[in-house]
Structure 1
Amino acid sequence: MDTGKIYTLDNAPLRKFHFKILAYTIGGSLTDGYILGMIQFALIAFTADVGMNATWQGLITSSPLAGVFIGGIVFGDLSDKIGRQKIYSIDFLIIFVLSILQFFVNTAGTLFVLRLLLGICIGAEYAISPAIVAEFVPSRLRGRILTILCMVWTIGYVIAAYVGAWMQTLGTDSWRWMLSSSAVIAAIVLILRIGMPETPRWLILHGKIEEAKRVVAKHLGEDIDLEPTIREITSRKSSSKAKLSALFRKGQIKHTAFAAITWGVNVLPLYALLSFVPIILSALGIVDENTFYTLLLNGLYLLAGIIVLFIVDRFPRKTVTVWGMIVAIIPLLILGFWISAPAGVIVACFGIHVFGNQAFGTITAYIYPTESFPTELRTTGIGFCSAVSRIFACFGTFAMPIIITSFGIHVALIGIAVVVIIGLIVTLAWAPETGNKSIDEV
């Protein structure tokens, strides 16, 4: 440690504790992605074993998304009031218990309730994890670490796809092992989070300045000067009440609307396409034997996330978002208007769309919502935006098969492209530039 130089929270060198923060948060993202991704395979086995109609299939598939809506709003707001650390550990204890309970369900209604509760816990995770990263890590690393969170969520989703495909061979009760397997990851994350401190920015905001100094000295080093952060936060303390209505006050409402809409524009195509890969490919004339293309597209999302990790902090946030949206739009329009596109073109277009969606999704789902709100509203704002995004996701998963059946796959793909075009217009009009700035300055 270079004790001859004094740093601030925003320009501190990379320390061991920053890697611990990364471990705390990526474990949550990995589990979230795994829980949401596993249902696409578990539901097939569950239906064959227990038997249920299409209504229950839709309810169980969308129940975690509805839970995220509730959890994001409730626990985002609560975290700004009582602190990040308290909710953060309890959240994963509940996820661990709920994961195990899924092994013992025998009815569709019981599974629906458990998946809804898991979604509520995931909603809390969405709100709190990015805030913890933003409030601890230096500004030059913030975008990259938030990108890792997004990428790890994809890893969890992809792992679930591959594990679920393998567990299908375990027999009629395979769905029990699929759904409860998330308890293993949850237990590891729960252990990792033991002893995690409260963020110094939240402590400063609530007048616990000496405690904030002790946290920084113990975990980041005594060569970190907290005074600039204290001055920045306390200078706006008069507006430090964490209320949902504050997201819509003058000077904040445009940032709230932008962050919520663009996050929704990202997840609608994500869930609408990934949830129905076999149906979409079949409608386009491709038979997905042995779920090859389903697994391939899941893998492409992971590859795209790795690529985005290396470019996110090299270019302005708005630039990456705009070009990512353009790259996501073009292949959807090609497939929408090219009725008889050959299989190679179809797969290539989906691959290009995946990269574009991941590129702008990393910014709009993790970075912009985190950087669009001050400390006193950060988890409230992120929670609200994640809740709004689940409305988009629920609509996508609900409407996609209906639109394909009623109007055809080409109309459905053009419709998704129009949604992303709306996001592009909103981005061009409202997107701020927040890269490489102090989280307090932003």
Structure 2
Amino acid sequence: MTTTTETGPRSTTRTARLDALPFTREHRRLLLGSGAGWAFDAMDVGLISFVLAQLAVTWNASPAELSWIASAGFVGMALGASIGGLLADRVGRRQVFALTLLVYGLATGASALSWSIGSLIVWRFVVGLGLGAELPVASTLVSEFAPPRIRGRMVVALEAFWAVGWTVAALIGFLVVPSGANGWRWALALGALPALYAVVVRRGLPESVRFLEARGRHAEAEATVRRFETSAGLLPDDVPPVRPGSGLGTDDAPAPGSPPAPAAAAAAPDPAPTAPRLRDLWSPVLRDRTLALWVVWLTVNFAYYGAFIWLPTLLYASGMSLVRSFGFTLVITLAQLPGYAVSALLVERWGRRPTLAAFLLGAAGAAGLFAIAGSPTQVLLAGMLLSFFNLGAWGALYAITPELYPTRLRGTGSGSAAGVGRIASILAPLAVPPLRELGGTPLLFAVFAAVFVVAALGALRLPERRGLVLEE
């Protein structure tokens, strides 16, 4: 059945009704609400890079100890991403999103009280559990509400909040961390804010309509769709009617003039949804895209976290003062924002795959420039280029990842890719000290450049999903 409204012909399936809507106040509210959580996530990850630089001075921590502090968080993120994706497909996107904010917010605040390297490592692991689970869940939630024609742009806009959060972390690092021997503790204490925001998320954001339908919760799904339609300015008469007593919604309304559905069929319960399994990602239909996606996630995580977690420490080790190294990091971080903006434009013009590959090749070139940079000005410019291309690539990667899987496996597929990527983010901080000892900063960033090239080759193996409806 279709109905004609001010916006033209509209299918009566709920997902098609959502896909036909323009960008509304509810979409904006969802994007800002999810984006705030994303920014808190980035702030926490970014803060640890400044904490490491100060601990090297105040606690006289060795490079190996600093590596384990950073990697402990990524071990937690690897587990959290996989578990969070599975939970999102079982209990809901919104519920898991709120839970992850609560976990890593409380753990970050508690880590400010750490009394030793060992205790800080334990708290960073717990923080990572929440951080890792949140990112794939948030991108899945936004992608399932976004109309196909702007879905990539919305997900990249969500990813852009990462730059906001990392910039806040850089400001805290620049202003708070150097304030005294306990500056790093005050910085981590500020990272407890997501725990408070979890309450806002739990009460304010909608649950995915696709998830609700898969679970047979049709009344809730219908209410959510009508909430978005009302936000678009559709009047009640524009919305297809609900058959009285059905409790389901427009998917069950008969077309005008069609014979009534048999009573038995109308009353038939939805089949029980099949529980998502990781092995389903390797079915003949999905295994090629899963393999290519995992390669991209692995390589991008290795190069990104290897470079940016250590950046303030590397600049300090090169002879800069702690404050100046933090200032350079702040300026380099600001280059992330235009990278996201350009990526958001190109994913809907070029497509996800070419945008992702182009930004990864740009990041490879920038890493090569960083390897040969000889002056502070050259280091700053190369760092800004690396920040621009690397974070633009992240935006395109988060746009394409949820689009590759059907609704039943979307959280699982996104979470497992992020979880596999976290394996590389665990190894990257540990690999930096030995690589620097072997060949200094030039060898380190030459390795990052090569890894970005491998990521670009993997991106070219992914299917293009620009403008297509999400698979059910």
TM normalised by structure 1 equals 0.88
Q: Is the 8 A contact 2:49 2:311 kept in 1?
A: no
SS of the residue corresponding to residue 346 of structure 2 reads coil
Which residue is 1:257 aligned to? Answer: 291
Residue 354 of structure 2: which of 319, 325, 344 is its match?
A: 319
Pair 1:48–1:86, CA change in 2 (3 A): same
Cα displacement (A) at 1:171: 2.2
Note if contact 2:77-2:129 (Cα within 8 Å) is conserved in structure 1: yes
Q: How far does the alpha carbon of each residue in 1:311-341 deviate from its partner, in whole angstroms, 9 at most, with x for none?
A: 33222112212221222222334555x5x75
Q: 1:407 to 1:309 in 2, by over 3 A?
A: same
Count of paired positions: 431
Find out whether 1:176 has 2:217 as its counterpart. Answer: no
What is the one-letter code of the residue matched to 1:311?
A: L
Tell me, what secondary structure is at the counterpart of 2:112?
helix
C-alpha distance in 2 between matches for 1:284 and 1:51? 17
Check the 8 A contact 2:81/2:133 in 1, yes or no. yes
More displaced 10-residue stretch of structure 1: 176-185 or 103-112: 103-112
Q: CA deviation at 1:173?
A: 2.0
Is contact 1:229–1:440 with CA below 8 Å preserved after alignment?
A: no
CA displacement, residues 297-324 of structure 1 (integer Å, 9 cap, x when unaligned)? 1122233223333333222112212221
In 2: Cα distance, 1:163 partner to 1:139 partner: 37
Q: In the alignment, which residue of structure 2 is the partner of 1:233? A: none
| Structure 2 residue aligned with 1:19 | 28
Describe the superposition over 1:104-149 as per-residue Cα deviations: whole angstroms up to 9, x where unpaired.
Answer: 3322222222211111111111121011101112112211121122
Aligned to 1:439: 470
Structure 2 counterpart SS, 1:210: helix
Q: Which residue of 1 aligns with 2:329?
A: 294
Task: Tell me the amino acid that sits aligned with residue 464 of structure 2.
Answer: E
**Residue type at the aligned position of 2:386:** H
2:84 matched to which residue of 1? Answer: 75
Report the aligned-residue RMSD.
2.9
Residue type at the aligned position of 2:42: G
Q: Which residue of 1 aligns with 2:305?
A: 271
Choose the corresponding residue for 2:345, options 307, 310, 329.
Answer: 310
After superposition, the Cα gap between the structure-2 partners of 1:172 and 1:326, relative to the gap in structure 1 and judged at 3 Å, is: closer
Query: What is residue 445 of structure 2 aligned with on the other side?
Result: 413
What secondary structure sits across from 2:468 in the alignment? coil
Residue 286 of structure 1: how far off its partner (Å)? 7.7
Separation in structure 2 between the aligned mates of residue 410 and residue 48 of structure 1, nearest angstrom: 24
> In the alignment, what sits opposite 1:379?
411
SS in 1 for 2:203: coil
Give 2:261's aligned residue: none
- Which whole-Å CA distance do the structure 2 matches of 1:183 and 1:316 have between them? 38
Q: Contact 1:75–1:124 at 8 Å: present in 2 too?
A: yes
C-alpha contact (below 8 Å) 2:105/2:127 kept by paired residues: no
Query: 1:217 aligned to 226, 236, 239, which one?
Result: 226
Contact 2:363-2:386 at 8 Å conserved across structures: yes
How far the C-alpha of 1:342 sits from its partner, in A, is: 5.2
TM (norm. structure 2) is 0.83
Q: Structure 1 residues 435 and 100 mapped into 2: Cα distance closer, same or farther (>3 Å)?
A: same
Structure 2 counterpart of 1:353, one-letter code? L
The answer to whether structure 1 residue 352 and structure 2 residue 363 are counterparts is no
The amino acid that maps onto 1:269 is A
Confirm or deny: 8 A CA contact 1:144 1:313 kept in the other structure: yes
Counterparts in 2 of 1:373 and 1:34: CA distance versus 1, 3 Å: same
Further displaced range: 25-34 or 166-175: 166-175
Aligned counterparts of 2:365 and 2:57: Cα–Cα separation in 1 = 39
- Tell me the equivalent position of 1:398: 430
The answer for unaligned runs of 5 or more in structure 1 is 231-236
Is contact 2:49-2:312 (8 Å) kept? no
1:194 aligns with 2:203: yes
CA contact (8 A) 2:77 2:131 kept: yes
Q: Note if contact 2:336-2:392 (Cα within 8 Å) is conserved in structure 1.
A: no
Give the match's secondary structure for 1:250: coil
CA contact (8 A) 2:300 2:451 kept: no
Tell me the residue number matched to 1:234: none
1:93, CA displacement in angstroms?
Answer: 2.5
Q: Take 1:367 and 1:195, find their aligned partners in 2: how far apart are those partners? A: 23
Aligned residue among 103, 106, 131 for 1:94: 103
Query: Which deviates the most, 60-69 or 263-272?
Result: 263-272
Distance in 2, matches of 1:353 and 1:224, equals 48
Distance 1:345 1:80 in 2: 47
Q: Pick closer, same or farther for the CA change 1:42–1:137 going to 2, 3 Å.
A: same
Q: Is contact 1:273–1:280 with CA below 8 Å preserved after alignment?
A: no
Amino acid at match of 1:359: G
Secondary structure in structure 1 of the residue aligned to 2:121 = helix
The residue aligned with 2:243 is none
User: How far 1:275 moved relative to its partner?
Assistant: 2.2
In structure 1, the partner of 2:116 is 107
- Residue-by-residue CA offset, 1:382-433 (whole Å, 9 max, x unaligned): 11111111112222221122111112322222221221121222223x1211
- The answer as to whether partners of 2:67 and 2:430 remain within 8 angstroms in 1 is yes
Partners of 1:100 and 1:180 within 8 A in 2: yes
Cα gap change, 1:436 to 1:64, in 2 (>3 Å): same
Question: Which piece of structure 1 moves more, 58-67 or 215-224?
Answer: 215-224
* Structure 1 pair 418–169 and aligned structure 2 pair: CA distance change class (3 A): closer
> Could you list the per-position Cα deviations for residues 153-204 of structure 1 after superposition, in whole angstroms to 9, with x for gaps in the alignment?
1211121011122113432222221101022354235324414332110111
* C-alpha separation in 2, matches of 1:33 and 1:423: 22
- Which residue pairs with 2:143 in the alignment? 134
Q: Identify if the C-alpha distance between structure 1 residues 209 and 262 changes in structure 2 by more than 3 Å, giving closer, same or farther.
A: same
Letter in 2 for 1:255: R
Counterparts of 2:252 and 2:297, CA distance in 1: 29
Alignment of 1:45-60 (within 5 A): 45-46=54-55, 48-49=57-58, 52-60=61-69
Q: Quote the Cα distance in structure 2 between the aligned partners of 1:84 and 1:380.
A: 11
